[in-house]
Structure 1
Amino acid sequence: MDGYKVPALGIVDSEHRLIGWITAVELVGANVSTKVRDVMANAPTPLQADITIRDAAGELVKSDVDYLPVVKGDRYFAIVTARSLLGKLRESYDPMTELPWSDALREWGVDKLEHNAEIAVLFIDLDHFGSFNKQYGHVIGDRVIQRAAEHIKTKIDPTQDILVRYGGDEFAIATIRPREEAEELMNRLTDYGEGLAVDHIGPPVTFTIGIYGGKRTKMRHDIHIPSNVDDLVNLASRDCLAKKEGFGMAVVQVPQRESENAPVAVATTPQSPDSDTGGPAASAVPTERLTQATVPEPDPVVSEEIVSEAVVEDVVEPVVETQAPVAQTEAPVIETIQADDEPGSLTYVVVKYAGKLAVGVSPKMGHSRAESIAIATGKALEKTFAESRVTIDSVNIERAGSTELVTARVRALRDGVERDITAQAEANGDLDDTVGLVVISAFLAE
């Protein structure tokens, strides 16, 4: 498994039907002469190879697992992992709001214009969201963005409109409605109604809407259609910016933090300076099939064969300086980090603990690279340790010459006890890995 970088091997019978599988857990302590059928585990319900990537990702989330077997008919085909799906999902789909990214609007608009339809674009921007995010924390900020997305979804008609998440706190709608009807849609978006009238902290978050297009009265000739779509978006964005002095076009109420289950995003005892970080439904579904995202792996092991070798490497616990003692137990380790600096990207962190992998994912919206890595690490830890919660209050990177010191303030709920911990470590190697390890260290601190 290590050689092929797969988390499990499927076990098949003589007709290539899946009858079980083995992971590193089953191999721990197994005698090299033990037969596969004697140590294999029951395989979970497999996915069919012709389902969409989004549906496959949904099944992984629903089952709370990081990988599942895939079959074609009744024959074993491959294993799909959360890691293999991320690359495809990040191209077109925002998991936090369940909306497509801006590329989907461009493709939709090009298609409509090529069929001689007229389109208008509504550009929606949350007001003062950066300062709100800093005051109340990214967790509450993410919930506000989700509520805004839910509200906008209820107002559009998938047969005429496409809604996308355009950026950190920005959304866009393209519509084939005439201009007058597009303006009516804009007015309906300001009617947030009882659906968003929930308890909140601080002032309500408002958003401003710009609009452009929907007025053409004659045929187009000799234009570059993709550029025309881009121009409509840019002009709607400028109209939105011009309206920024007149707020209150729609309101999203912020949830309370008094509930026991509501995470708090502000540390009570800061020990270091805060970092200054400040289509239609069908169109949102990636149409690539699961066969394009499965993990290449060796031929499955037939149950009559014998495991020839099972080597389990010792887990090396990372040494991290912290401001609180760390429990001397086997520690989770960072297996993989994928992050970049694009505003629309996803950051994912794979944590390995007790032979199992857990994947944490964080949209890089309004977060620095280090914050996004820290949040994704926290989510992976929440999946690794039952009934735990990790809230990242801040991540700060101080540079002095060639030295980089990573400081993370973390609120961690573990074993029924909530702790506020500040952990630090010097980045002697990979800075991304150090951020993840500091979060792990804070989570384990007593």
Structure 2
Amino acid sequence: MTCVENIMSREIMTVSPLDSVRKAADMMNDLKIGCFPVVDGGRLVGIITSRDVRYSHPNRLVIDAMSKDLVTVTPSCSIWEAAETMERHGIERLVVTENGNLLGIVTKLQVYHELGKHIDPLTGLNRAEYLYHTADKLIRNNTAVTIIFIDLDGFGEIDKEHGHIVGDEVLRRVGLVIKAHTEENLDYPCRYAGDEFAVVTVRPADTAKEYALQIVNAIANNNWHDRMKITASAGVINWRPLMNNDCDIRKLINTASLASTRAKKKGVPVVTVDCQDG
């Protein structure tokens, strides 16, 4: 999973709490840097930003102008968690620390630039790594989740008969169908790979099969190019807190994928399995 340590700036310039604001401002201008961690005796004690500098007299000390309530993350923090933290606190950068040691700084620009790489350009959906992040976060918070794995039926034949341009248009419109059936803070869709899609949802488990069926039916009933018949099969797996304390996210998603294959073989639109069924 893409973490902060993969994108953070490691070459860190620092200032002392007893330096003047003027010195910090001059260093920011010279180095084209928007902030400096403030370090005292090797210990991180604050951060001074260009905003702090603008609202402080240049003769004041850094200790009087710096922000002392630091928002920090560890190097293993995912880029999605970093973005959420920045938005929640309304800040433009995060200090990266581990065991009290200053390791780097990551900016909002760096985080969102990296996030952009994890969006599928054809469908506009997040890629598979986002699914792993979201499912893992929800499960760690003991939130009941359902994973719906959606696989188009016979998609290879569509490419062969109609060409890849038409095939890409089908995938794009499937993405739109899935988006149209997701609600904010309930459903988290992604294009998993190729003609495979997936949704992590926190809808009640007893409605999950019906929800998956709505998506599959919407795909089948779409007004497709040249009256093509596009269908999909879905596998559904529910996870509840205390069901499995050693939950393996990849195994969970793989089980949902196998359930979609089972649906194809049975000729039914949706197959649901329990987490304990494997």
Normalised to the residue count of structure 2, the TM-score between the two structures is: 0.52
In 1, Cα distance between equivalents of 2:202 and 2:269? 22
Q: Structure 1 residues 173 and 153, CA, compared in 2 at 3 Å: closer, same or farther?
A: same
Match of 2:119 in 1: 93
Match of 2:242 in 1: 218
Q: Does 2:244 align with 1:205?
A: no
In 2, Cα distance between equivalents of 1:194 and 1:241? 17
Match of 1:158 in 2: 184
The residue type equivalent to 1:114 in the other structure is: R
Say if 1:127 and 1:247, in contact at 8 Å, map to a contact too.
Answer: no
Q: Does 2:264 align with 1:238?
A: no
Q: Structure 1 residues 105 and 206, CA, compared in 2 at 3 Å: closer, same or farther?
A: same
Could you say what secondary structure the match of 1:94 adopts? coil
The Cα of 1:110 is off from its aligned counterpart by: 1.0
The residue type equivalent to 2:138 in the other structure is: K
Alignment of 1:281-430 (within 5 A): none
Q: RMSD of the TM alignment (CA)?
A: 3.2
The Cα of 1:203 is off from its aligned counterpart by: 3.6
The Cα of 1:90 is off from its aligned counterpart by: 6.6
Could you say what secondary structure the match of 1:93 adopts? coil
The Cα of 1:119 is off from its aligned counterpart by: 1.2
Match of 2:88 in 1: none
Say if 1:123 and 1:236, in contact at 8 Å, map to a contact too.
Answer: yes
Identity between Structure 1 and Structure 2 (%): 29
Match of 2:44 in 1: none
In 1, Cα distance between equivalents of 2:263 and 2:223? 25
Say if 2:219 and 2:231, in contact at 8 Å, map to a contact too.
Answer: no
Q: 1:139 aligns with which of 161, 165, 175?
A: 165
The Cα of 1:248 is off from its aligned counterpart by: 7.2
Could you say what secondary structure the match of 1:192 adopts? helix
In 2, Cα distance between equivalents of 1:204 and 1:159? 32
Counting helix residues as a fraction of each chain, which structure ranks higher? 2
Spell out, residue by residue over 1:146-195, the C-alpha distance to the aligned partner (whole angstroms, 9 max, x if none): 11110111111221111000001000011122321211211211332898
Moved over 6 A (4+): none
Could you say what secondary structure the match of 1:205 adopts? coil
The residue type equivalent to 1:205 in the other structure is: I
The residue type equivalent to 2:208 in the other structure is: A
Q: Structure 1 residues 88 and 193, CA, compared in 2 at 3 Å: closer, same or farther?
A: closer
Match of 2:206 in 1: 180
Q: Which runs of 5+ in 2 are unaligned?
A: 1-109, 271-278
Match of 1:257 in 2: none
In 2, Cα distance between equivalents of 1:143 and 1:165? 14
Say if 1:123 and 1:171, in contact at 8 Å, map to a contact too.
Answer: yes
Q: Structure 1 residues 196 and 240, CA, compared in 2 at 3 Å: closer, same or farther?
A: same
Q: 1:127 aligns with which of 153, 158, 161?
A: 153
